[in-house]
Amino acid sequence: MDWLERTAKLRQWTRSGTRAPHKPLLLLYALGRFQQDAAGELRYSAVEEELQRLLTEYGPPNRTTPAYPFHHLVSDGVWEVRTDRGPGSPGSGVRELRAAGGTGRLAPELRAALRREPELLGRMARVLLELHFPPSLHGDLCEAVGLELEPGETGQLSAAVRRRRDPRMRDRVLTAYEYQCAFCGYDGRIGAVPVGLEAAHVRWWAFDGPDDVDNGLCLCALHHKLFDKGVLGVGDGHRILVTQRFVGHSPAAREHVIALADRPLIGPQPGALPVAAIHRSWHTSQVFHGSPRPATAV
């Protein structure tokens, strides 16, 4: 049985690039817990709050419940659910899982494979991260689910992950935006080498976002992370969106985040393609959280 292929092909509801990372997040969480305690089980009532935080922080803007993946991941052959009455899930309802004492853990065959081949855990985690989340969030996600991955654990990833990124995209995007952050204008260098500047995909590469200039933004490391977390976005007229859910009282938070609301993007330079509407719309619907703030009075 090829566990990497099975991991890459988790059954998910998809339509027009809609994000549905519920099962991948649960499986990442389960792998992290297995790494810490290979014999442990996850009682739904005990882990529900943690799973809900993961979905809220790394899932799409629409609210959902962790009961859904807890029940439905069974159908992918990597997960099992038991209740106080015995094997089998009572359903995808929160009340049913709580009342029946629902517990879940990795399927027996998968647990045995992970014990035989410990590096498989890291490979499965890398497949999930590559297929469902941008690189800027991988470290945060591993920390959130308690996963410790070694650089050498990638091994031979599934064919589904082998779509190659275009290494020229970064240079093209940074050139288009004249080596300055499109949100704040930061343009730091050490000698001739830019530092802290990154090429961000607007529509994530994991969701068929092309390696094209009109799907990219030159962003500083801070604003790239906030963009991928849904704190920042790009709206109509290429103006910056800042979610009302962001809270920051320090002068730094006000200056570097809140004050950006409704400002125009900096760049791209004349002749370079701005962010395409189709990619802006995808990010707004699938990544940006909540409603945008109005412009901040100066």
pLDDT tops 50 at residue 263: yes
Name the residue among 113, 116, 138, 136 with its Cα closest to residue 127: 138
Secondary structure E strands in 152-258: 189-190, 193-194, 197-201, 216-220, 232-234, 240-242
- The rounded radius of gyration (Å) of the Cα atoms in the chain is 21
17 pLDDT band, cuts 50/70/90, is confident
- Predicted confidence at residue 11, as pLDDT, reads 83
Q: At what angle do helices 135-145 and 22-36 cross, to 10 degrees?
A: 50
- Cβ within 8 Å of residue 158, ≥6 positions away: 2, 4, 5, 7, 8, 127
Q: How far apart are CA 178 and CA 268, in angstroms?
A: 7
Residue 149 confidence (pLDDT)? 85
The pLDDT assigned to 155 comes to 43
Torsion of CA 153, 158, 160, 165, to 10 degrees: 40
Residues 158-183: tens digit of each pLDDT: 454 555 678 899 999 999 999 999 99
Looking only at the bridges linking them, the beta strands covering 79-83 and 189-190 are: unpaired
User: How far is 25 from 69, CA to CA, in rounded Å?
Assistant: 9
pLDDT, residue 117, reads 95
- The pLDDT, as a whole number, for residue 151 is 63
> Within a 10 A sphere around the Cβ of 159, how many other Cβ atoms?
11
Distance of CA 249 to the CA centre of its chain: 26
Q: What is the pLDDT at residue 204?
A: 95
Q: Using DSSP, state whether 94 is helix, strand or coil.
A: helix
Question: How do residues 91-149 score in pLDDT, each as one tens digit?
Answer: 989 999 999 999 999 999 999 999 999 999 999 999 999 999 999 999 999 999 999 88
